[in-house]
A and B are shown apart, each in its own frame.
Chain A
Amino acid sequence: MCLGVPAKVIELMANEVARVDVNGNQTEISVRLTPEVKINEYVLVHAGFAMEIIDESIALETMKYLEELLQYE
């Protein structure tokens, strides 16, 4: 139910609505809850609303614990 999908912001339109791309499909969502979002940023979409801007600099690949994991080898 709390499912969120990542979407890329393509266009910012009137009334805090944005056109976004989700896996190649374009759709319109409300960006009322993320007023500072910019074009080309990724957002997490839930129930037709952008819930948060995704920070791409902290990608999945950060591998924060890589070094300490080596001790288990």
Chain B
Amino acid sequence: MSEISDYQQQLLHAIQTEKASVTLMEVCGTHTMAIAKSGIRELLPPNIKLLSGPGCPVCVTSQGDIDAVIELVRQKDIILVTFGDMMRVPGTYSSLQEERSQGADIRIAYSPLDALRVARENADKEIVFLGIGFETTAPAIAVTLEQARSEGLGNFSVFSLHKVVPPALELIFSDPDINVDGLICPGHVSVVIGVEPYEILAQKHRKPCVITGFETLDILEGIYMLLKQIKQGDAQAEIQYRRVVKREGNLVARQSIEKVFKPVAARWRGLGVIPDSGLALREEFEHMDARLKFNIPEMEEIPIKGCACGEVLTGKISPPECLLFGRACTPLKPVGPCMVSHEGSCAAYYRYTPAKGRG
């Protein structure tokens, strides 16, 4: 056995010997997926519970916001450029995929910079980039907006559904119905924001926070660090994912977010409206705000019947506890966004849990 897998075994062994009852929450869709895939949850002793939180940007997007985007693509001469994850997310009456099959021009891009190319090549069309994601993604959109402004691309705009993570974590820690003893903090969001926001949370709520990487070894080490703090009565923010995350985060990226976006209240699926948790374009960039440019109104929030995504996203239930899970709702025929996105908790559970364990 190699030294690394030895170490991994030792971490697991230490975690398995833990006697106290502890509930940890991971707040990153990539962790949700990595944990499901590696089978870590099944290896934990019954006294250590691992919940998934609101860590999937597609899943936390509100129903009204999805409906608003669908409203937008129905307008004339619009080309919507989006990350692929958004295509199948069900709105109240339709999805982007359905709109595309009805003739809407919707293109999937890997980078927001691709949307600028589309804008240059289609001067007679309006190009809208669907900005979705947490702090990891916002700097890329910010740089793209700056670039569009300096090129004077009049036909480019962004529909910003961007959200920031710390206000949602604040809400989770403050909710008396959600009992979490420690947080496995998102590795790639933290690449940008650094450790400080978690220091504030850890201190205020007396709960440890560990910024964790995505390999099985990282996750086990992160869990071990949290258990150790809990045992010692500590509540610190620590970085396990030190090879990528700096204490101060990425200052250049933080500055670009700051320059282009301003914090606004935003509605999260399952969590409601959270102050200062969304990112809207600042005044200097407002002419590239698609919501204003195309007069898209706030849409009513119509919940999806029977879908418990809201409870799943706050760790109040685990996916198999939803009555539709694996029956009316599967990745092929998803009812809610948590089953659509690869990193949604329901999709991760469905894909990696053997059929008999699906409840």
Chain A residues packing against B (C-beta within 8 Å):
1-4, 29-30, 32-35, 44, 46-49, 51-52, 54-56, 58-66, 69-70, 72-73
**A65–B139 touching, CB < 8 Å:** no
Q: Enumerate chain B residues within 8 angstroms of A30, measured Cβ to Cβ.
A: 111, 113, 140, 143
Most buried by A among B3, B246, B253: B253
**B343–A63 touching, CB < 8 Å:** no
A2 to B58, CA, bound (A): 11
Q: Enumerate chain B residues within 8 angstroms of A65, measured Cβ to Cβ.
A: 11, 221, 224-225
Checking A52, A58, A62, A69 against B14 with a beta-carbon cut-off of 8 angstroms, the contacting residue is A69
A33 touching B136 in the complex, CB below 8 Å, given contacts A60-B243, A61-B3, A72-B13: no
A59 to B246, CA, bound (A): 14
A55 touching B10 in the complex, CB below 8 Å, given contacts A1-B85, A48-B110, A65-B224: no
A63 touching B253 in the complex, CB below 8 Å, given contacts A44-B188, A55-B244, A56-B243: no
CB-based nearest B residue for A48: B111
CB-based nearest A residue for B135: A2
Q: Enumerate chain B residues within 8 angstroms of A72, measured Cβ to Cβ.
A: 10, 13-14, 17
CB-based nearest A residue for B245: A52
**Interface of A (DSSP majority class):** loop
Chain B residues packing against A (C-beta within 8 Å):
3-4, 7, 10-11, 13-14, 17, 28-30, 56-58, 83, 85, 110-114, 132-134, 136-137, 139-140, 143, 186-189, 191-192, 213, 215, 217-218, 221, 224-225, 242-246, 250, 252-253, 256, 341, 343
Closest 8 CB pairs of A and B: A48-B111, A2-B136, A2-B188, A69-B10, A58-B243, A47-B140, A72-B14, A49-B140
CB-based nearest A residue for B252: A33
B45 to chain A, nearest CB (A): 13
CB-based nearest B residue for A70: B10
Q: Enumerate chain A residues within 8 angstroms of B4, measured Cβ to Cβ.
A: 60-61, 63
Q: Enumerate chain B residues within 8 angstroms of A69, measured Cβ to Cβ.
A: 7, 10-11, 13-14
